[in-house]
Structure 1
Amino acid sequence: MKRLTTLIAAIMLVPFFVQAQDLADALRYSEFQVQGTARAGAMGNAFGALGGDFTSVSINPAGLGLYRADELVLTPTFGQSKVESSYFGNTMNDSKYNFSLNNLSYVSAIQTGNQSETGLVNLNVGIGYNRVKDFNNNMLAGATNPDGSFLDYMADNATVGNWSDFYEQLAWDTYLLWKEDNSDVYWHDLDSEGANYGQSQRKSITKQGYMNEYSLALGMNFNHKLYLGASIGIVDVFYKETSELLEWDEQNRSEFFNEMQFDSYLRTSGTGYNGKIGVIFKPINEIRLGASVHTPTFYNLHDVFETSMYSNAADEEGVMGNFEAQSPYSEYDYDLESPLRATLSGAFVIAKKGLLSIDYEFVDYASANLRRGGDGYQFVDENDEISEVYRSVGNLRVGGELLATSSVSLRAGFEYYPSAYNENAFGVSQPNADVNTNIYSAGLGYRSGGFFFDLAYRYTDTGNYDSLYPAPPTDFYNMPEMAHFNTTKNNVRFTFGFKF
């Protein structure tokens, strides 16, 4: 029973509480949306049946076969993310600006010398990268908590024998955790008389990093009707998360506790490898049909993790003072296999004046697997949790383009990404099961000779429920209050391209 209640608490609090390698890592590096060129971004990245844009290499590499000329493009991006939280009725918000280079690529269109325009017409090679995920974000939540404390989790953990140098040891060293004489029961001053809660709490998290996919791709054009493609991708991963949890006795309810601060630091770096194959078929000039399959991405990851704690509290003599403690410096290597992906696509060209396109992408997040820990650990329990907590989803991308003049195009798009969480896990409802991501986009393009310029605006809206700290492992039904976070992102992309 202890294992089950601890597991359920961890499941519900995965995203907001940094721990060891677990199902949070599996989702973090498996769930993403391609962030390539401005043209694709304006059209909702619905490029599985279109091609002619390097973003398609990360969706359906057969799109490389539609190129008829060499091309060099780059896409700088500027954006802002804003997170608004609600916790115990209190609202807070934080934001972060970010500048990045989302795409840099070169395509060489190689004519086969086939003058009849039948058989193999083009053999194209592309190299470059698309950003597939941007982690940059700031989160802030806080209020007065009448019900509990982070110290509840550590006191209960210590009592049941779950002692960690990264958590309980720090609380012990800073006089925040106490032990009953002649027993194994641990307690803390905020709950020493059962009525001292009511301290103020605030947690802030800063996230930084990216996932960039570097691709080498080959596309073939047969008869201007059948296009085949394949690519090899190398994913560069960098993720850094720092958090600060504060609790302070603003109402002077405790004689022996004034304030505490718990800081955590996680940095993950590594490389992943994958392959993609795809096909695009034009039964008639107005219709294009596409399909692609992505292998799992096989990651080799390296984690660095450490924590620290500060308190202003009473020592064993009852004297108030400032105390600090630092955890060991932990490094750990492990592997991760992300889910396989499959995409079906369709596009309709309207009298050479415009087009409509749609992609449906299938991903089974429950199939992600942690592998080969640096100390030989095999993650059997963690992989069972992944298969129970996550589910398969169907992502939808829709886009359109209108040729307003011979050189100016107008574009719009929409993307829908359902939650990766099951409705229930281990018999408990998951609050994040109904949290979906919606992306609205629009933009324009300009063509003049061998130069083109594209502009895209993208608005992302998503949300999630998280707690500032986990529930005590033997008192799951006294779950901490969950905060609701609503995240919005405003993003502007500029693509500069040259055809020659």
Structure 2
Amino acid sequence: MKKIYAILAIALTMPFAMQAQSDEDALRYSMMNFGGTARSWGSANAFGALGGDFSSLSMNPAGLGIYRSSEFVFTPALVNFNNQSSFYNNSLETNRYNFNVSNLGLVFSKVNTGKENASSGWVGGGFAIGYNRLENYNNRIAYTGFNDRNSITEFYAAQLSANGGTNPSNAGGTDPFGAGLAWETYLLNPNPGDSTSYYSVVNGGNIQQSKTQVTNGAMDEMVISFAGNYGNRLYMGLTIGVPFISYTSTTTFSESDVNNVHPDFNSMSQVEFLETNGAGVNAKFGIIYRLNNYIRLGGAIHTPTALGMSDFFYTNMQSSLDTTGSYAWESPQGRYDYNLVTPWRAIASMALTFGKYGFLSVDYEFVDYTAANFNFNRIGSTDDIAFETALNSTIDAKYSSANNLRIGAELVYEIFRLRGGYAIMGSPFADGVATGDADFSGNTYTLGAGIRERSYFIDFAYANTRSTTYDVQYNYATADGANEGATIDRVTNNFLVTLGFRF
């Protein structure tokens, strides 16, 4: 942890126009579900060795070779985000709903005439195009509590006082997205006798703190896939993935003197806005081998995803002071283009198929989050390179590799299907980094059902994902102690319907 804080301290000395980027951004765009159809969701997305489903194009593209007919699929979804926060022993619950399209695609399958049951040679192949939703960023978290230790304004005063202090004539521009705003709204003052160090109008905490963060957007991946079937035994596939990222975050943090203990402070609020857009490319290679009529083995490698990203961000602050009135100030509008590489993945799968009775499938996935890497060298300035080095070092120190496991099953009775599954997503953090149980690991429980006719199918799925995360607005310690963050228990409920037509 000392290493991480040292790196963060270095980062704080870099130009503040770049501080919209953080190690948390790298994690956000590296963690993902494979999304897709209700059939796949209902079986916890454990489709790596099964194939024959459009979701497999983003997992193991060899599954495209399993198809025996062409099809069109469409999956609308309704998602409920429920968050229970705990902050200074105070609990708060938030809910949000989002409607989206989880999957849309076309599969074209060709089986060579007379080769349907061949045990050697090329039996056929397939081509598919469409998209799968890999991650949903729509959410809302909120928490509030009484901080008896310190204020964010004291944190800003310490920033301006650090490294030999700041001349008052430069205070507003030193950090125009944080401490500079506190200076411009008269929340900070120079110390008498030392005008380059600062104190806050709030001393020692004893304030009500509240935070609300509303996020929107998603990571959607356009897929173009090819696969072949050799001897009805070996299936090989390739997917070219083109992910598109859209993410916006509006964070409102406020403090108020609810007990009227600070003679020149009533309240303050800070609103941070971030909009990120990006696109990239990756490749996925996969094989499925049918040992016999009952056992299938699968394997897939996903290359790192190279993303070109663009951030737009700004911050505004308002203050209400008891003696001099109210003030408001807004930062410059920040824009920055950069590159991000997210980690490679490896997936090993096994499925037991029971003919017309169903299947049992297991996927194991390995992902190394330390492989995420920023590149700020489009401009090539010394400050860019220094900040890039510090941030990538933070990723190396803070994160680790993770193991993910997915188990799914399907029971078949005539045209009816019943499915269930369970998935574990491992923590991305290195040992000793996460706060308590807030390690970002997750558990998903799924149920599904469907009707599959010769020319069409309808599938339904429900997935319940539970995880615990930790959120802190700033890190600062005084003689009264360090400020706390909020522990957030997250529950995500996905409801999906897939409509499919074979031709």
Query: Please, what is the CA RMSD of the aligned residues?
Result: 2.1
Match of 2:184 among 173, 177, 193: 173
Matched, 1:53 2:53: yes
Choose from 267, 278, 299 the match for 1:259. 267
> Aligned pair count?
480
Q: Distance in 1 between matches of 2:197 and 2:122?
A: 76
**1:442 corresponding residue in structure 2:** 447
Q: State the match for 2:253 in structure 1.
A: 245
Of 2-11 and 353-362, the range deviating more from structure 2: 2-11
- Which residue of 2 is the match for residue 329 of structure 1? 333
In 2 relative to 1, CA 114–10 (structure 1 residues): closer, same or farther, beyond 3 Å?
Answer: farther
Mapping of residues 83-482 of structure 1, within 5 Å: 83-115=83-115, 117=118, 118-161=120-163, 163-183=174-194, 184-191=196-203, 194=204, 197-313=205-321, 319-376=323-380, 377-378=384-385, 379-403=388-412, 405-424=413-432, 430-431=435-436, 434-471=439-476, 478-482=481-485
CA distance in 1, matches of 2:468, 2:455: 42
**Cα pair distance change 1:266/1:165, threshold 3 Å:** same
- Give the aligned residue type for 1:416: I
Distance (whole Å) between structure 1 residues aligned to residue 336 and residue 480 of structure 2? 33
Residue pair 2:57, 2:223 contacting (<8 A) in 1 also: yes
CA drift of 1:418 comes to 1.1
Structure 1 unmatched ranges of 5 or more = 12-17
The answer (yes or no) to whether the contact 1:9–1:471 under 8 Å persists in 2 is no
1:440-498 deviation per Cα after TM superposition (whole angstroms, max 9, x unaligned): 000101012301000000101011122232326xx699431121100101110000000
- Residue 308 of structure 2 aligns with an amino acid whose one-letter code is N
The answer as to whether partners of 1:35 and 1:132 remain within 8 angstroms in 2 is yes
Q: 1:2 to 1:396 in 2, by over 3 A?
A: closer
The CA deviation at 1:39 is 0.1
Work out whether residues 141 and 204 of structure 1, in 8 Å CA contact, stay in contact via their aligned partners in 2.
Answer: yes
Q: Give yes or no for contact 1:263–1:308 (8 Å, CA) kept in 2.
A: yes
CA offsets 1:97-127 (integer angstroms, 9 cap, x no match): 0000000000001233354723111120000
Q: Deviations over 1:323-359 (max 9, x none)?
A: 0000000000000111110000000012430110000
Contact preservation (8 Å) 1:83, 1:94 = yes
Counterpart in 2 of 1:15?
none
Alpha-carbon separation, structure 2, partners of 1:205 and 1:430? 20
Counterpart residue identity of residue 401, structure 2: S
Deviates more, 1:435-444 or 1:293-302: 435-444
Note closer, same or farther for the CA distance 1:59–1:266 as it changes in structure 2 (3 Å cut). same
Task: Give the AA of the match of 2:121.
Answer: G
Structure 1 residue 375: deviation in Å? 2.6
Q: Quote the offset at 1:182 in angstroms.
A: 3.5
Q: TM-score, normalised by structure 1?
A: 0.92
Provide the rounded CA distance (Å) in 1 between the counterparts of 2:479 and 2:451.
Answer: 58
* SS of corresponding position for 1:352: helix
1:2 Cα offset (Å): 10
State the shift of 1:189 in Å.
1.5
Structure 1: how far apart are the matches of 2:260 and 2:500? 63
Deviation (angstroms), 1:9:
8.0
Structure 2 Cα separation of the partners of residues 446 and 53 of structure 1: 15
Q: For residue 175 of structure 1, give the secondary structure of its aligned residue in structure 2.
A: coil
1:82 is aligned to 2:82? yes
* Aligned pairs (5 A) from 1:67-78: 67-78=67-78
Deviation, 1:434, is 4.0
Q: Alpha-carbon deviations, 1:104-153, whole Å to 9, x = none? A: 00000123335472311112000000000001110001111111111121
- Distance in 1 (CA, whole Å) between partners of 2:415 and 2:248 is 43
CA contact (8 A) 1:397 1:415 kept: yes
CA distance in 2, matches of 1:208, 1:33: 17
1:147 corresponds to which letter in structure 2?
A: R
